[in-house]
Amino acid sequence: MLTGHHLIAGREAAADHAPFQAMNPTTNQKLEPFFGEATADLADEALQAADGAFDSLRMASAETRAALLDHLADEIMALGDALLERAHQETALPMARLTGERGRAIGQCKMFAALIREGSWAQMSIDLPLPDRVPAPKPDVRRVLLPIGPVVVFGASNFPFAIGVVGTDTVSALASGCPVVVKAHQAHPGTCEMLSRAVFNALRKAGLPDGCFSMLHGRCHDIGTELVKHPLTQAVAFTGSLKGGRAMMDVAAARPHPIPFYGEMGSINPVFLLPGALKERAAKIAEGYIGAVTMGVGQFCTNPAVVLGIKGADLNTFIHSAGEGAQKVAPQTMLHRGICETFEAGTAVWSTIEGLKLAGQSAAEPNNEASQAACRIFTTTLDVLESNEELQREVFGPCSIVAAADSLEEMLTFARGLEGQLTAAIHGTTEDLREYAALVRVLERKAGRIIFNGFGTGIEPCASMHHGGPYPAASHSFFTSIGTGSIYRFVRPVCYQGFPDDCLPAPLQNANNAGAMRLVDSTLTRAAV
């Protein structure tokens, strides 16, 4: 049964300040119970508890932390259909989508458990001493990655499981040995409470202190600001809008001791259609494009918002097919009324721009009372796209623009002027890819992930995935918020010189009991020293 309480290190704190309720976006009905705004005092209590639990978590064995994640996977599953039903009520996401996302969240727990059990992720490096070296002896020097301390997590509205309370940010931080304080998403607070209780159950089964985790509610920016500026916070993970992310990023940078802010803030994810692909399969590409634009009602940060091709009959075929495809897409309910209103306002602005035409939209009218959005595909020329900044800003939802260029050189010029992107896609033949290799070279400087003959929607959580990109897509292009590489946001290297073997962290000791891969005198090996 939901209480609406803040959950601080296992303690339930009544949420009676500025109470609010979740809304069912399909029916506009308020959902029980009431939640409330967390205060600065509660933020301090949560972070004090996290700091107090830090040593217990970071000194716990890799097996203990892995067991925590295994228990968490079990606890998520144990919530059963009640979790799916509450998330469906709060987000309008289909039950099939939520079931799949729950599987992804569970899979991420197990993926990180396997990562830390194996151990090589911590990048151990050992340089053995040479006491007889002249003119000066070489000391014993060893380096390993260690957790940094309490992490604050802001989850996403569009992924309540996989990028939320038990999403990649939380799971990778706990795996590294960092306690977590989550700011619950205001659009699905009941889902956040259920998942937070699962975290506490997992901590207790693993024998770890409740202070390793807390969850605070809030709708306004005040509680987020309090969490980011708190002196005990050591890093922040954020998924959301550029406006909100930049505000928190500035708070993190303005602290007396600035901390890393890992923000994933969206992009327009350009798609480039090369001549060979358009000639061979324009209609087929258009079919996949409409599927990507409307997947999840367009509520993905990797939604293909801009498509470029060289003007001509083949591009016209693509535009015609995309317009017809858009007409067949039924309007669907968005995550909450605020997102729907922003979508409508954004596309309304587009509709006033001279030279931008509607190529196709959902044949059925959206039900505004149910926060529905219709698919809308626009078409224009590249010069109109380039001369209107409004067309190069993300409008979150099922809309996109197809722009016609006069030449490849014009497409290259546009690509060179792009801001940082999470993804960029190229559709072409193998010959196209070779002939237009210059486009790939440009996109390597602009995007975190480049896709050939596909679209950015649909992310595979794995070791090779990079979900990030140059600013403003993300706050730091080196780091990913999806996949096992996300753990590196919450650690830093520590070097030990001249330490006795039994006083070193276990991963650096001579025995190498975990059998992890280590760099010993510049050679990778799993052998003991």
3-state secondary structure of 373: strand
What the block records as the tokens of 30 is 């308020």
Of the two residues 488 and 392, the one the predictor is more confident about is: 488
- Measure the CA–CA gap between 365 and 354, rounded to whole angstroms: 24
Q: Which domains does the chain have, with CATH numbers?
A: 55-265+480-489 (3.40.605.10), 271-452 (3.40.309.10)
Q: Please report the pLDDT score of residue 275 as a whole number.
A: 97
Inform me whether the pLDDT recorded for 266 exceeds 90: no
Q: Please report the pLDDT score of residue 15 as a whole number.
A: 86
Largest CA distance in the chain: 82
How do residues 187-221 score in pLDDT, each as one tens digit? Answer: 999 999 999 999 999 999 999 999 999 999 999 89
- Measure the CA–CA gap between 294 and 287, rounded to whole angstroms: 11
Would you say the pTM of this structure is higher than 0.95? yes
What the block records as the tokens of 508 is 């650096």
Inform me whether the pLDDT recorded for 169 exceeds 90: yes
Average pLDDT of the residues of the chain:
97
Active-site residue, selected from the candidate residues 37, 45, 75, 264: 264
Contact between 183 and 224 under an 8 Å Cβ cutoff? The reply is: yes
- Measure the CA–CA gap between 444 and 87, rounded to whole angstroms: 37
How do residues 91-146 score in pLDDT, each as one tens digit? Answer: 999 999 999 999 999 999 999 999 999 999 999 999 999 999 999 999 999 999 99
Active-site residue, selected from the candidate residues 301, 340, 375, 399: 301
DSSP 483-519: SGGGGGGGEEEEEEES--GGGS-GGGSTT-TT---EE
Q: Please report the pLDDT score of residue 220 as a whole number.
A: 86
Is-catalytic flag, 344?
no
Q: Report residue 438's pLDDT band, with 50, 70 and 90 as the boundaries.
A: very high
- Measure the CA–CA gap between 314 and 328, rounded to whole angstroms: 22
DSSP 300-332: -TT---EEEEESSHHHHHHHHHHHHHHHTSPPE
Is-catalytic flag, 409?
no
**Overall average pLDDT of the 449-471 stretch:** 97
How do residues 325-338 score in pLDDT, each as one tens digit? Answer: 999 999 999 999 99
248 closest CA partner among 256, 239, 88: 239
**Overall average pLDDT of the 509-513 stretch:** 97
- Measure the CA–CA gap between 469 and 461, rounded to whole angstroms: 16
**Overall average pLDDT of the 311-324 stretch:** 98
Q: Report residue 182's pLDDT band, with 50, 70 and 90 as the boundaries.
A: very high
DSSP 43-62: HHHHHHHHHHHHHHHHHS-H
- Measure the CA–CA gap between 395 and 344, rounded to whole angstroms: 9
**Overall average pLDDT of the 495-519 stretch:** 97
